[in-house]
Amino acid sequence: MKCREFVEFLMSYLDEELDDTARSVFEAHLNGCRDCHRYMEDYVQAVELGRSVCREPAGPVPDDVPEGFVQAILQARRAVGSRGK
């Protein structure tokens, strides 16, 4: 497997959608390629960070932030949160 193929199959691997043969080939590349191993770690960390942003309670909003802006952010967070369920 080449690195480009690794990237193409990454989400399927993380979602446990690969068959046994494809998973073995993927894992062999993962174990032998430091760059792809690091890429996967960074990808997983970015996904987890994105999910945590949607879960964390908001802190106090400064008084100089327009109310419409605050409401738009809250609405977007609710929309993203409902898709993650």
Residues in contact with 10: Cβ distance below 8 Å, sequence separation at least 6, in sequence order: 39, 40, 43
Residue type at 80? V
Residue 7: its pLDDT value, please? 95
Q: Please give the residue that has the higher pLDDT: either 14 or 58.
A: 14
Residue 84: its pLDDT value, please? 54
With a cut of 70, say whether residue 83 has pLDDT above it: no
Q: Please give the residue that has the higher pLDDT: either 37 or 48.
A: 37
Q: Could you list the residue range(s) of the whole structural domain that residue 14 is in?
A: 3-83
Q: How many domains does the chain have?
A: 1
With a cut of 90, say whether residue 52 has pLDDT above it: no
Mean pLDDT of the chain: 86
With a cut of 80, say whether residue 53 has pLDDT above it: no
